[in-house]
Every structure is written in C-alpha cells, then in structure tokens.
A and B are shown apart, each in its own frame.
Chain A
Amino acid sequence: MEWLPLLMFVAVCLVLLTGYPVAFALGGTALLFAAGGILTGTFSPSDLTFVPNRLFGIIENSTLMAVPLFVFMGVMLEKSRVAEKLLSSMGQLFGPLPGGMGLAIILVGALLAASTGIVGATVVTMGLLSLPTMLRQGYQPQLSTGLICATGTLGQIIPPSIALVLLGDVLANAYQDAQLKQGLWSLDTVSVGDLFVGALIPGLILVGLYLLYVVAISLLKPQWAPAFEVADGQARSWRSLLGGLLPPLLLIAAVLGSILSGKATPTEAAGVGAFGALLLAAANRHLNLAILGEVVRATSRVTAMVFMILIGASLFSLVFRGFGGEEAVHNLFSAMPGGVLGATVMVMLLIFLLGFILDFIEITFVVVPIVAPVLLGMGLDPIWLGVMIALNLQTSFLTPPFGFALFYLRGVAPPEVKTAHIYQGVIPFIAIQLIMLGILALFPELATWLPHTLYG
C-alpha cells in the first residue's frame, strides 16, 4: 500500500483546486480516506484516537500564542495609519533624489514587513499609497509594480514574521523527530527565536540587493526612476519626518531587540509589540472603540483561519502517517540520486511549485512536517533549512502567473497598469531572489552564524 499516501496527497491537491476552504478540504479529504481505509482494512481506526490529544496540543501550545499577538500588532498599525505616515515621510526624504522613491519604497516595505509580516497588507498599502504618485511622476510602470510586489513579500523573511513563527514551531517538532529516529538521546533543539535570528542577516542582504538594483537603475536608466518634483510648501520638515519614522522604528527595535538579546521569548515580544502598536495608535489619535472593535475582530478571524488550517492539517498528517506516509516519503528520498543535495533540491522545487497554489501556512503545516524530518535526519541544519524554505516561498509568491503578491497588487493597481507590466516588473526581483537563494546555499553560515554566536 505504498502508493496510498501519495494518492492521498494528490487527491487533496485536486480537492484544494476546487476552491473549497483549505482547512476543511485538508481535514475532510483525510477523513474520507481514513473511512475508506477502515472499510477496506488498510487503515487502523486506532490511529484516529490521537486526534483529541493532538488538537488539545494546538490549544496549549504557547509558542503559537505569538500568532494572534503579531496579527493584532500588524492590523493595529495598518488601521491606525502608521504605515501611511511612514511612507509619506520617507517619500519626502528620498523623493527628490533620482531613484529616491524606489529606495523609500524598499525601506518602508522592509519596515512594514518587519512590523506586520503580512504580505497582502504590505502590498495593498503600498500599492494604494505610492503607485499612483510614482506613475504620475514618471516612474516606469514595470519598475514601480515590481518594486511594490517584491518589497511586499519581504514580510515572510524579515523577522518578526508570523510565517517564521509557524515554520519555527513545525521545524522544532521535526528536528526532535529526526533526532529520536537516529537514536539520539541528548536532543538539540531549535526554536522560533533561532529562526528569527537566523533570518535576520539573509533578510538584510536581500534588502541590500534590492537597494543596489534601484541605485543601478537610476544610474543606467535614469528615465525609469526620475527624481520627484516636490512643491516648496511640502518640502521636508524634519519634525514631521521624525514623527512618522521614529515611533514604528522604536517599536520594531524593541520587539527585535528583546528577542535578539535572548531574554524575551518571541511570544512575549509579540505581546509587547501588540501593546506598543496600541499605544502608537492612541498617540496618533487613531484609537477609538470602533477601530478597536475592527482590530480585534480582524485579529480573531485571521487567527481562526490560521488555527483551523492547523487543525485540518493535523487530521491530514495523522491519517497520512496511519497509511504509512512517512516511510513512503523516506523511501522516495532515499531513492533520489545525489543524496542530501538531490533531496534538498527536490524539496525546494516542490515547495516552489506548491507555493503557486498554497499559502505559506498550508505549506508549513502540510508539506514541511512530511519532508523536514527526513531532510534533517540527513544532517541538514534546521535553521538553514527554515530560512531557505522561507526565501523559497517568498520567491514563489512573486513568480507569475500565480504569485500571491501579484494578485494583491493587481487588485489595487490603477487600470492603466497592465498585468503584463506587473509580470515584467517582477522578473529582475525574481532574479535577485534566486541569487540570494544561491548565496545562502553556498554560505549556510549567513543563516547559522548569528544564532550560534548569540545562543551558543
């Protein structure tokens, strides 16, 4: 029955393509297979008795408590217009330089990404706020849209990011599994904090590469990225600039700093960040009961969506294991030519392709638990693997025709921007992403050095 788990995987992909909500499709398909398996005697019902324990484990998991807290922080910053202020003050600072608005977009995008970690929110905010101005001032549509999409996806990789919280939690379990299987008893652990720290340097290099690209364009093709004409009246006022920049910068510094120092857990840092966003909104006079209500409801819906997928994915993985799926995957990888390298390349390719139809959450909960224990058992570093997966997915979200970031921007771009512009615009950034993946593959220390130095 080696092929049954693989059939189950293919079946769930087909069911997902109908568009029925992912969480229920995962759980429902798994249960249908389990029912069929029980009837034909290929699945033991006792495998399902672990269900309540697993689900209660999700409720009790204190690492995952960071999810609603970070979501709250991101939604609060968005609704209280902190992002808007940030972008306009950055625009004032850099706009008058050739290519300056491009640099401003990248820096704001990186900050927003760090603070919210929500791809859609960043792309939509920047698309609405800056795309019309850039086009009016003569920026090439391809360059403008490519920039906005690419910076929007930075939220996956720049900590603190919700994606890394989820990935870190899954990898922690996978790493334990892998070591137990090898018969090791003194277990190494990997935590969400490790992954945050590990993603920091690659994320910053990536931002640096984006910035370099814009500088290069402004030198080689100045007509694509002209200097903004700023009316004298709205010339830079340092006070408003500082007022827009400083508070979110401080907030992010506080959240990241407390994690980097190794004192606070990501969950605690998320709580402080959420509270800081609340204070910022109050300071900006953008806080009242109506807004607070919208924020808590949006937070609860996003959180519910994430955790229902986790519940559905747990059902899926229990049934998948019951059918012997783990051995099947293991055998598949062992049969791969090229050993660890071959297996890693195949997994990366698979994740890249799945990134077209699945979101970060689904891939993290469904695919990573299946493949990661095998890869980690082959001796890969869990932090490196996590950062590679995050970078890879980020690239996937940027790649036409199915990249998520492209859909979000298409939704808010003015009609004179053609879909073809967006597709052409992201190509250079995809190239940058691939270069970054290559760099990280050649120099894993970029991800592993900082966490090992900080935490030993």
Chain B
Amino acid sequence: MPIFSDLPTIMTKQRLLHGQQWLTAFTTAIGRGSAWLALLLVLGMVLVVVLRYGFDIGNIALQESLTYLHGSLFMLAIAYTLAEDEHVRVDVLYQRFRPRGRAWVNLLGTLFLLLPVCAAIFWLSLDYVASSWREQEGSANGGLPFVYWLKTLLLILPALLTVQAIAELLRHGLTLLGATPPPRVSEHDTHPEEGL
C-alpha cells in the first residue's frame, strides 16, 4: 500500500508533532487555569466554617457552590494530569521496559482502554445530561439552580480526555516510528513525591 508507507514522511511527522503539541497545550491550559479552583475551594470552605460556627449561619447555596468548585477542579484536571503523565501506574515491570516498550504499552492502552472509557462515559451520560438541560434542573435543596451545568461535566470530562488521548496516540505512535516527540514539560520531575 503505497499511500500507507508514504504517510510517515518527514513533513507529515512534523505536522503530527505540531498537532500533538497543540492538543497537549490545550488540555494543559485548561488544567493549569482550573487548578486555581483549589484555592477558591479552600477559601470557600473556611468561609462556610466561619459562618457556621462563628455566626450560626448555614447557607445552602454557598455550600453547594463548593461542590461545583470541587467537581470542576478534578473533572477539568484529569486530562491535564494525563498530559503530565501523573496518573498512577503499577510500575513494577513498567520501569524496566525500554522506551519503545513503554510506547507500545501507552499506545495500545490508549486505543483499547482509555478511548473506550471516554466513549462509554460520553454515550452513557448523554441522555442523562440532556434531560437535565431540558428540565433546567436545579438544586433539590433550594440551593443553586445550575445542576444541569454540573452534570455537563460528565460530557466535558470524556471530551477533554479524548483530546489528550489523541495527543498521546500521536506521541507514542511517533516514538515508535522513530521520531522524538519533545519531552514532557512537567513540573512533576522536580518533586517526584506527590501521590499517596
């Protein structure tokens, strides 16, 4: 098949590398931005505690806004965490694999494990989210009226994760074709100790 063997020419590889960087930059930008929700969550929690124990005021809308912050914090960061290669692995064997072996694991894993997870979460949640939008579903406890937005995270997660999964396919596929994708610009390398 001539078309197939012509595909990985230098030009195409360059373009694919470029695309890989673009996709990664996209999920990373979202993750780095949404990370600041963690600070808001801390401050909001302190506010709740002060109001409740200091002034005996319990505000449902305020409490629910913390749920929105918390949910968005991790749902928007999952793809970014993949871009930084920080989803925990069982590395008993993995750490002994050569770079090509690791690339194979990641390529096949992305195709047969990660992408099906994205597709399943998206399709299974579609009706659930859509009906919440139709009803303009609000809080069951008289809090914030934006539950349909919160539920939309169930679609945003697989969408973002798919974007990063494609970037990972390109990265590991190109590695196997002999190209050298740029190393991950990860903050993690300076402090490998995070994780439980």
Contact = CB atoms under 8 A, between A and B. Distances in A.
Q: Is the interface of B mostly helix, strand, loop or mixed?
A: helix
B42 to A, nearest CB: 4
B79 to A, nearest CB: 8
A401 to B, nearest CB: 9
A19 B94 contact: yes
B67 to A, nearest CB: 6
Contacts of A56: 128, 150-151, 154
A54 B77 CA distance: 19
A52 B158 CA distance: 12
B35 interface: yes
A69 B195 CA distance: 14
A298 interface: yes
Contact of A52 (B45, B86, B129): B129
Nearest to A267: B45
A17 B93 contact: yes
B129 A25 contact: no
Contacts of B175: none
Given A51-B120, A359-B196, A19 B89 contact: yes
A2 interface: no
Given A120-B196, A124-B193, A297-B35, A72 B42 contact: yes
Contacts of A359: 88, 195-196
A285 interface: no
A97 B186 CA distance: 43
Contacts of B187: 294, 297-298
A103 interface: no
Interface string B108-148: 11001110110011001100110000000000000000000
Contacts of A305: 81, 86-88, 195
Interface in A248-289: 263-264, 267-268, 270-272, 274-275, 278
A88 interface: no
B93 to A, nearest CB: 6
B89 A21 contact: yes
B92 A24 contact: no
Interface stretch (B14-22, B68-76, B177-185): B68-76
A301 interface: yes
Contact of A124 (B41, B106, B192): B192
B128 A65 contact: no
A271 B117 contact: no
B113 A15 contact: yes
Interface residues of A, number: 85
Interface in B50-97: 52-53, 63, 66-67, 70-71, 73-75, 77-78, 80-82, 84, 86-95, 97
B23 interface: no
Contact of B32 (A15, A297, A312, A411): A297
B38 A28 contact: no
A301 B194 contact: yes
B74 A304 contact: yes
Contacts of A124: 192-193
Q: Is the interface of A mostly helix, strand, loop or mixed?
A: helix
Given A118-B193, A124-B193, A298-B187, A272 B35 contact: no
A268 B32 contact: no
A408 B121 CA distance: 34
Nearest to B40: A296
A59 B192 contact: no
A31 B117 contact: yes
A21 B91 CA distance: 9
Contacts of B37: 300
Contacts of A18: 93-94, 105, 109
B159 interface: no
A298 B39 CA distance: 12
B124 A48 contact: yes
Interface string A21-55: 11111011101100100000000000011011101
Contacts of B82: 21
A125 interface: yes
A24 B151 contact: no
B35 A59 contact: no
Contact of A24 (B36, B94, B109, B191): B109
Contacts of A302: 86, 194-196
Return the 6 tightest CB-CB contacts between A and B, nearest first.
A19-B94, A28-B113, A271-B45, A20-B109, A21-B87, A304-B77
Interface of B: 31-32, 34-39, 41-46, 48-49, 52-53, 63, 66-67, 70-71, 73-75, 77-78, 80-82, 84, 86-95, 97, 102, 105-106, 108-109, 112-114, 116-117, 120-121, 124-125, 128-129, 150-151, 153-154, 187-188, 191-196
28 contacts: A19-B95, A21-B87, A24-B109, A35-B116, A59-B71, A60-B71, A65-B70, A68-B38, A68-B41, A72-B42, A78-B193, A118-B194, A163-B196, A267-B45, A271-B41, A271-B45, A271-B49, A293-B35, A296-B35, A299-B38, A300-B37, A301-B84, A301-B86, A302-B194, A302-B195, A305-B87, A309-B88, A357-B90
